[in-house]
Amino acid sequence: MILVTGATGTVGRAVIDQLRAAGAQVRATSRHPAAAQLPADVEVVQADLGDPTRMAAAMRDADRVFLLSTGPAIPEHDAVVARAAAEAGIARLVKLSSGRTGDDTATDPIPTWHRAGEQSVRAAGAPWTIVRPLGFMSNALHWAGTIRAHGAVYAPYGQGRIAVIDPRDIAAVVTVALTTDGHDGQVYTLSGPQALSPGEQTDILGDVLGRRLEFVEIAPEQARQAILDHGVPAELADAIMALRATALETFTSVVHDTVERLTGVPPRTFRQWVADHVAEFPSAAA
Ligand SMILES: NC(=O)c1ccc[n+]([C@@H]2O[C@H](COP(=O)([O-])OP(=O)(O)OC[C@H]3O[C@@H](n4cnc5c(N)ncnc54)[C@H](OP(=O)(O)O)[C@@H]3O)[C@@H](O)[C@H]2O)c1
């Protein structure tokens, strides 16, 4: 039995699908099981990552755990899950971290939170694997609103390139780490096949969607305000903006061969990701 946390989110949901395809028995946690919309053969249990009692109960009869935590609570939540995993005798704990956690010069909040979480995972005693993806291709979904309204993508740091990755390829590596041997104590940094600037992503989006899209570079303060306008708390908005600024650094543009090395399949291109998500963007006729 494999316990998947963060199961209703972008990566967790893809992990659920790929574990089921691999024939694994899967249990998922959600804070709101009634709204989880997971396949009928997935057992869904109500648990908050910060609740040691619920997390211990969720791990009963499980032998492997996928840990996905988000935001400022990452250090606390990872400590709770890592302790519960060690006490439950879990045979492998796979933590989703962040690529920039591996950049020793990165001191902004998100890698700092994940670094603390990784430390708890390493220290707790359960055999562990850490997966550190660079930026997700799915972040481009945040552009759908302005594509619909203005036929444009507004983003800061137009010169920055990130070797963005399809969340399904992250899930593929997580599935390999959960279901095959030889991953204990390993740290896997993941990227997609190519580093792209937001302008280059905009061109690919326009090409696949069949409409002309304009890329407009905006000031970081405007981007921060747009995040706040979506109801994101200031602490998280600042953390996201600090991460976005690192698009200008070389670290985020490095292409890693990890996905193909571990899964035997090259990582998907951004063009493939867009083609598979066309329905989530306004069409040419819109
Ligand atoms: N976006 C990027 O470019 C990027 C790059 C590298 C790394 N990352 C890392 O990827 C992670 C985010 O992954 P994602 O985008 O797949 O997440 P997501 O779509 O935002 O989903 C978050 C999941 O976490 C669950 N969750 C949130 N708070 C919880 C709590 N207190 N207790 C239990 N479950 C909780 C939610 O489940 P319920 O609501 O059902 O409870 C949901 O399934 C973060 O660690 C981030 O740092 C992101």
Interval 159-215: pLDDT, tens = 999 999 999 999 999 999 999 999 999 999 999 999 999 999 999 999 999 999 999
Give residue 249's pLDDT.
86
Q: For a pLDDT cut of 70, what percent of the chain falls above it? A: 99
Name the band, by pLDDT with cuts 50, 70 and 90, for residue 283.
confident
Give residue 246's pLDDT.
86
**Rounded average pLDDT over 86-111:** 95
Residues at CB less than 6 angstroms from ligand 1:
5-12, 29-32, 36, 48-50, 68-70, 96, 98-99, 110, 133, 135-136, 139
Largest distance between two CA atoms of the chain:
56
Give residue 30's pLDDT.
98
Q: Taking a C-beta distance cutoff of 8 angstroms, is the pair 258, 181 a contact?
A: no
**Candidate from 61-70, 83-92, 248-257 with smallest mean pLDDT:** 248-257
Domain assignment present for residue 79? The answer is: yes
Domain assignment present for residue 240? The answer is: no
Give residue 205's pLDDT.
98
Distance 212 CA to ligand 1 centre (A): 32
Give residue 167's pLDDT.
98
Give residue 282's pLDDT.
86
The burial class, CB within 10 Å (0-12 / 13-18 / 19+), for 285 is exposed
Name the band, by pLDDT with cuts 50, 70 and 90, for residue 248.
confident
**Rounded average pLDDT over 248-275:** 96
Residue 150 CA neighbour count, 13 Å, CB half? 9
Domain assignment present for residue 280? The answer is: no
Counting the structural domains of the chain, the total is 1
Domain assignment present for residue 55? The answer is: yes
d(CA 73, CA 6): 13
Tokens describing residue 216: 């407009």
Q: Which of 254, 251, 257, 253 is nearest to 103 (CA)?
A: 251
d(CA 252, CA 195): 8
Domain containing 112 equals: 2-134+167-190+255-267
pLDDT in tens, 12-53: 999 999 999 999 999 999 999 999 999 999 999 999 999 999
Domain assignment present for residue 151? The answer is: no
Give residue 261's pLDDT.
98
Give residue 285's pLDDT.
55
Which residues make Cβ contacts (< 8 Å) with residue 172, sequence separation at least 6? Answer: 18, 259, 262, 263, 265
Domain assignment present for residue 286? The answer is: no
d(CA 170, CA 230): 26
pLDDT in tens, 213-227: 999 999 999 999 999
Domain assignment present for residue 20? The answer is: yes
**Rounded average pLDDT over 89-114:** 95
Give residue 270's pLDDT.
98
The burial class, CB within 10 Å (0-12 / 13-18 / 19+), for 198 is buried
Domain assignment present for residue 274? The answer is: no
d(CA 170, CA 174): 6
Atom of ligand 1 nearest to the CA of 164: 3
- CATH code assigned at 59: 3.40.50.720
CA dihedral 88, 89, 91, 92 (to 10 degrees): 50
**Rounded average pLDDT over 51-62:** 98
Distance 9 CA to ligand 1 centre (A): 6
- Pinpoint the alpha helices (H) of the chain: 10-21, 52-58, 74-88, 109-124, 144-150, 167-179, 198-209, 220-229, 234-245, 258-263, 270-275
Give residue 24's pLDDT.
97
Distance 214 CA to ligand 1 centre (A): 30
**Rounded average pLDDT over 255-265:** 98
pLDDT at position 284 over 90 = no
Mutate to test the pocket of ligand 1, among 8, 68, 134, 170 (most ligand atoms within 8 A of CB): 68
